[in-house]
Amino acid sequence: MTKDIKNPSYLPTKDQVRTFIEESDAPVGKREIAKAFNIKGADRIYLKKILKELVTDGALEKGRGQSLAAAGSLPSVAVIDIIRLDENGEPIGKPVKWDDETPAPTIYVGLQKKRGVKAVAVGDRYLAKLTKQPDGSYEATVIRHLTAASGPVLGVYTSTGKNGRVQPTDRKNKKEVIILEEHSMGAQSGEVVLVDILPGRHFGTPEGKVTERIGPLGDSRSLSLIAIHAHGIPHEFSDTVKKEALAAKPVELADRTDLRDLPILTIDPEDARDRDDAVWAQRDESPENSGGWQVIVAIADVAHYVTSGSELDKSARLRGNSVYFPDRVVPMLPHELSSDLCSLHDNVDRPVMAVKMWFDANGNKIRHKFMRALINSCASLTYRQAQNAYEGHPDHVTEELAQTVIKPLFGAYEALKKARDKRQPLNLELPERKIELNEDGFIKAVHKKVRFAAHMMIEEFMIQANVCAAETLNQLRRPCMFRVHEPPDREKLEGLQEILSEMNISFAKGQVLQTATFNRILAQAENETDKELVSTLVLRSQSQAVYSPDNKHHFGLHLKNYAHFTSPIRRYADLLVHRSLISGLGLGNDGLTNEDAENFDDIGVHISGLERRAMVAERQTMDRFTAVFLANKVNEIFQAKITGVTRAGLFFSLDETGADAFAPISTIGHDFFVYDEKNHSLFGERTGVTYRLSDRLAVQLREVDIATGSMIVSIEDGSGRSSYDAGSRRRKRNAAPGKPGTPGKKSFSKKKKTMPKGKKRAAAKKARNT
């Protein structure tokens, strides 16, 4: 009997075959289809025919090899670019190979499931496993981080006739992007824009399309937006997250410990955006603890409002932390919580997780106790207010608090300081920059932050509370997100030892490493400038602190048990520690879930990556704000110190603002300068002028690039003429012989080291060959 190929009733219809392919998780071939429908022999001719018709109709697409897939579907493994973040801050991907004429399926990129995978950011490119969802979207699991995608690009737009060009704000990306008039969105010269790279150009200058106009580059209010867009920092909350935050209500006392009659208070910076810690101290009246102290550290009870699995929780985990810029904060939690219900404002009841600690007269902790409580802060002070009151200069707010509340706090700190000094944590002197804005949001000044004893007091109280949290969870055998800082790598220390040797500071590489070792190094610096430099060098040699459920201790603080507990408003790690304490101590039913506990490894990697992202974004924004402030000071003279010596030139830190600047080697003096790698110096082959780390010099500001936050300086030689000008003439091949530069003053060495002539010639020859 001959089979009817045209209408074989026992074979699947065209619609059935199409449905089978559409419901498959990955592209399938004729072999898989034939096996699924038991099609054999001559019946394969029929299958081949209907598949060809489905492709011709546009219902199917041919994939790699002989595979077929529903039109618009994706393979099970593909290369994707992160193109944006959705309203919940979740990364959205797009296949690299996709026809832009048709909408691409939405690809949701989940949290990393592997150690070492960086936090997902806009512009990143990944190899990912894709799983199709019933609604047609895909879920992506990251397999491997690839090179960064070619777009989007953040840059400064410049008109060039009808068209324009965009110069990227990323210092590493020097390639301009051409923007045709029809793709400019009406952007004006000097505006910061977001650009997508258009397909088609594989060589030469790429062509792009403006997708967003952020604002004028010279406007300081645009500077933080550059970092937000460049790093893909989610800065808006979804309606569902906002709804949960708005539904939050003040907390009643219920079964909490009532601490509202206690004269507890907050001490924060003048520009504090949230207040998540309050403190109280008094003498311990127990005869068994003569001269001892009682201290309470109360921390905002964020776990009460942000419960595991809620929309607020998902959003907070995706953000990982708040990000602080000079003109704004991108909070981890919505304003209704971060600045209101969770913020410990004065004269209002607020729920807290509190720890009461008992210390002896020498600052050694005797015991501690955690509680969920309700407080009513009696004052919200600044560090300067607290310091002034302690020193006998109270204002109208602190006058009544000076003796009874503020003085005991400093008394307890003096005791704790004894134990701290004995413990010898890493004692680095690292100046921080502060951007001061006027009422219009424009930059008023850039200066170094001033640190008071009040800063160190609060810092030590917070450290002790963090230790209590880690110790308690260890004792309870409960999951803990430790703050881990491992000892420095030996290879990094080799470079540090070479530099310190040049500064006549002894450092034996083979010794057992302790924080006291580095503190002895710092003590050998001869002046404050050298201490800052050595602190920076020591910091560069240290390991990066991370979050992990594995307790590998905290080297820098010289502590065996340490976890972040004191800032749950702005750090997700602290919120996890709160939840674990709640579960372990039986303080409520809103503690840590088993699912979260099982995922601590992955969460630790995730939030550590987000912390690094925030640090880079904040630092780059500080550089851009400083560049704006100094843009109208080009050609002015500044005092500076050398903080880095490379083959390419010298890095400086300007004294007044702490700004970083660079002097290219081609602009240094009237000589051929050779890089001495061993001694980290540049020396002139003809004049013998030598520049070393920590040399203090007068420099002239020559160029300021606001887009990248970078600055170029030249060294003043005291003749009224800058080495920058001489270098420019030399580059143009018309330089005339000039006066030799003045050697940098070596503030750290009593005996000047010189390089023998033979070694100089050999080093110069080596540099030329390099």
**What is the per-residue pLDDT for 67?**
56
| Of 143-152, 431-440, 503-512, 698-707, minimum mean pLDDT range | 143-152
What's the pTM?
Answer: 0.74
Mention every residue, 6+ apart, whose C-beta is less than 8 A from residue 265: 278, 279, 280, 346, 377, 378, 379, 380, 381, 401, 405
Cross-strand partners of 127: 79, 144
Asked if the model's pLDDT at residue 670 lies above 90, the reply is no
Which candidate, 337, 332, 335, places its Cα nearest to that of 251?
337
Does residue 87 carry a pLDDT above 70?
Answer: no
Q: Which residue has better confidence, 462 or 216?
A: 462
Residues 99-122: pLDDT tens digits?
A: 555 567 888 887 554 444 455 666
pLDDT at 294 over 90: yes
Q: Residue 167 pairs with which residues in a beta bridge?
A: 156
**Rounded to the nearest 5°, which phi and psi values hold at 541?**
-85, -10
Mind listing the pLDDT tens digit for each residue in 408-430? 999 999 999 999 999 999 988 77
Query: 315: which 2 tokens?
Result: 């959003």
Phi-psi region of 455 (alpha: psi -120 to 50; beta: other; left: phi over 0): alpha
The CA distance from 351 to 569, in Å, is: 13
Nearest to 435 by CA among 221, 642, 644, 711: 221
Query: 581, 582, 577: which is closest to 562 by C-alpha?
Result: 577
Residue type, 95: P
pLDDT at 315 over 90: yes
Q: Quickly list DSSP for 618-655.
A: HHHHHHHHHHHHHGGGTT-EEEEEEEEEETTEEEEEET
On the question of pLDDT at 719 being above 50, the answer is: no
Task: Find where tokens 């070694």 sit.
Answer: 759
Q: In this model, does residue 491 exceed pLDDT 60? A: yes
3-state SS track over 142-163: EEEECCCCCCCEEEEEEEECCE
pLDDT in the model for residue 22: 63
**Residue 581: CA count within 13 A, CB half-sphere:** 32
Alpha-carbon gap, residue 212 to 215, rounded angstroms? 9
Nearest to 48 by CA among 63, 65, 61, 29: 29
Which two three-digit tokens encode residue 284?
């311990």
Residue 142 pLDDT = 84
What is the model's pLDDT at position 86? 67
Q: In the predicted model, what is the mean pLDDT of residues 237-265?
A: 95
Mean model confidence pLDDT for the chain: 83
Q: What is the pLDDT of residue 560?
A: 96
pLDDT in tens, 338-380: 999 999 999 999 999 999 999 999 999 999 999 999 999 999 9
> What is the SS3 assignment for 70?
strand
The pLDDT score that the predictor gives to residue 549 is 96
Whether residue 468 has pLDDT greater than 70: yes
pLDDT bucket at 1, cuts 50 / 70 / 90: very low
Cα–Cα distance for residue pair 240/87, rounded to 1 Å: 10
Among the residue ranges 14-28, 64-78, 132-146, 539-553, the one predicted with the least confidence is 64-78
- pLDDT value, residue 435: 87
Q: How far apart are CA 423 and CA 417, in angstroms?
A: 10
| Bridge partner list, 751 | none
Residues 197, 181: Cα–Cα separation, whole Å: 15
The string of pLDDT tens digits covering residues 320-332 is 999 999 989 999 9
Task: Give the torsion sign (CA, 733, 739, 745, 746).
Answer: positive
- Alpha-carbon distances of 1 from 4, 12, 32, 42, 165, rounded to whole Å: 9, 20, 27, 13, 73
Q: State how far the Cα of 42 lies from the Cα of 35, in Å rounded to an integer.
A: 14
Residue 571 carries which DSSP code? B
Beta-carbon contacts of residue 386 (< 8 Å; ≥ 6 apart)? 267, 398, 406, 409, 452, 454
DSSP 435: E
Q: Are strands 660-664 and 482-484 parallel, antiparallel or unpaired?
A: unpaired
Tell me, what's the pLDDT at 477? 96
Percentage of the chain with pLDDT > 70? 82
* Rounded mean pLDDT, 654-658: 88
Say what the pLDDT of residue 757 is: 47
Is residue 268 pLDDT above 70, yes or no? yes
Q: Which amino acid, residue 352?
A: V
pLDDT computed for residue 739 by the predictor = 33
Q: Which has the minimum average pLDDT: 138-152, 333-347, 633-647?
A: 138-152
- pLDDT value, residue 173: 67
Band of pLDDT at residue 442, cut at 50, 70 and 90: confident
Backbone angles phi, psi at 77, to 5 degrees: -130, 130
Nearest residue to 355 (alpha-carbon basis) of 342, 372, 375, 341? 372
DSSP state of 560: S
Contact 659, 651 (CB under 8 A): no
